[in-house]
């Protein structure tokens, strides 16, 4: 089952036309990924960065806009793992409102040692949780798909 979170479009999210200013979607996505880490991976985002000194920076991202979102809209953001490499993970993100597709994004994150700023294997307690998302029958990938072409830092 994909992870879902809800986000209300606030006044600060919209431009003069009254629609979400496109860079805000990237910030909303980052918040959704933080929530995915907490609720699915069971990783405290602050501790991951500050105490354990690892992170998951985005190394590739693409967005396709389908329809505008407006002030007051309640967006549903779905995070869906698509493939998993030694240290990378491709995620799909789908934004919708009242059943209408607003935006789809794909991103690749790389598990990174923040002290050395190099990729590292997924921690043993995290990898199975990502694999479970892949094994849940979500289209688009399986564990270790694309691990030979893993993006680096």
CATH number for the domain that contains residue 82: 3.10.129.10
Which range among 17-21, 29-33, 84-88, 143-147 shows the weakest confidence by mean pLDDT?
A: 143-147
* Percent residues over pLDDT 70 in the chain: 88
Q: For position 135, what pLDDT does the model report?
A: 75
For residue 148, tell me if it sits in a domain.
no
What is 40-64 written as a DSSP string?
TS---HHIIIIIS-EE--EEEEEEE
For residue 65, tell me if it sits in a domain.
yes
Does 153 score more than 60 pLDDT? no
For residue 34, tell me if it sits in a domain.
yes
Does 150 score more than 80 pLDDT? no
Q: For position 152, what pLDDT does the model report?
A: 47
Whole-number Å distance between alpha carbons of 94 and 33: 12
Identify the band that residue 134 occupies on the pLDDT scale cut at 50, 70 and 90.
Answer: confident
For residue 145, tell me if it sits in a domain.
no
For residue 20, tell me if it sits in a domain.
yes
HEC string of 12-37?
HHECCCCEECHHHHHHHHHHHHHHHH
* Domain housing 48: 3-139
Does 141 score more than 50 pLDDT? no
54-55/88-97 β-pairing: unpaired
Identify the band that residue 142 occupies on the pLDDT scale cut at 50, 70 and 90.
Answer: very low
Express each pLDDT in 12-50 by its tens digit: 999 999 999 999 999 999 999 999 999 999 999 999 999
Q: For position 2, what pLDDT does the model report?
A: 86
The tokens for 102 are: 């607003």
For residue 8, tell me if it sits in a domain.
yes
Which range among 44-53, 105-114, 132-141 shows the weakest confidence by mean pLDDT?
A: 132-141
Express each pLDDT in 110-129 by its tens digit: 999 999 999 999 999 999 99
Q: How many domains does the chain have?
A: 1
For residue 150, tell me if it sits in a domain.
no
Q: For position 21, what pLDDT does the model report?
A: 97
For residue 151, tell me if it sits in a domain.
no
């Amino acid at each position: 089952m994909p992870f879902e979170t809800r986000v209300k479009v606030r006044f600060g999210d919209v431009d003069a036309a009254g629609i979400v200013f496109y860079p805000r979607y990237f910030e909303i996505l980052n918040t959704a990924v933080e929530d995915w880490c907490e609720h699915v991976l069971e990783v405290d985002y602050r501790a991951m960065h500050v105490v354990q000194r690892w992170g998951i920076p985005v190394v590739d991202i693409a967005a396709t806009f389908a329809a505008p979102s407006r002030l007051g809209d309640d967006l549903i953001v779905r995070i869906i793992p698509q493939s998993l490499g030694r240290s990378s993970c491709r995620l799909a993100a789908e934004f919708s409102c009242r059943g209408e597709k607003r935006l789809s994004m794909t991103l690749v994150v790389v598990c990174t040692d923040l002290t050395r700023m190099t990729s590292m294997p997924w921690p043993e307690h995290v990898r199975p949780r990502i694999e479970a998302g892949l094994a849940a029958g979500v289209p688009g990938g399986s564990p270790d798909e694309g691990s030979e072409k893993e993006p680096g830092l």
